[in-house]
Structure 1
């Protein structure tokens, strides 16, 4: 395999990982918006992974923006995890362009 082929596969792998991270954040925010049961195994799995990939910066508890008042948890999750999702997509696209020959 040529160096160009390896770079192309590496770029595809990085892009795929970033898209998966963005999906965890987006679906995690959706679970808050839909008031999903946090005791459900799937909801817990998605929220756990969303907390792992939010880097602490996009956390709904202590993130970039903290809302107060009624439905603050939903607003925090939608805003911070939504922003984090966009971050992962932009980062993935930039890394894809850098790695791809």
Structure 2
């Protein structure tokens, strides 16, 4: 059999490493995107952005479900402080969860 006719053997370890690497990158990007969206919501709210603006509404609409129950964890009198603390904690949670998930995925390699 010549070199042109030989079949390459399938390397399971290499394929697994590629899948896990890709999955780890996707998890990292999604978690970072979620945390960034929550941070933008905090900046827009604390900065006094117009709540009727399309961008502000878009960010607020996506930030709400990403807060995962943190949105009313603390209830200070100042609503801007409430957004800063609660959505800030949610953003930190996403960064922590993403870091943990990527470590678990890397351990699978």
* TM-score between the two structures when normalised by the length of structure 1: 0.89
Give the whole-Å Cα distance in 2 for the aligned partners of 1:53 and 1:8.
Answer: 25
RMSD, aligned α-carbons = 1.0
Corresponding residue to 1:6 among 2, 19, 32: 19
**Structure 2 matches for 1:5-84, cutoff 5 A?**
5-55=18-68, 57-59=69-71, 63-68=72-77, 72-84=78-90
**C-alpha distance in 1, partners of 2:65/2:44?**
16
Q: Which runs of 4+ in 1 moved over 2 A?
A: none
> 1:4-37, CA deviations, whole angstroms, 9 ceiling, x for partnerless residues?
1100110110111010110111110111111000
Q: Which has the higher contact order (CA 8 A, sep 6+)?
A: 1
Ranges in structure 2 where 5+ consecutive residues have no aligned partner: 1-13
The TM-score with structure 2 as length reference comes to 0.83
Question: Quick one: which of 87, 91, 95 aligns to 2:93?
Answer: 87
Q: Which has the larger radius of gyration?
A: 2
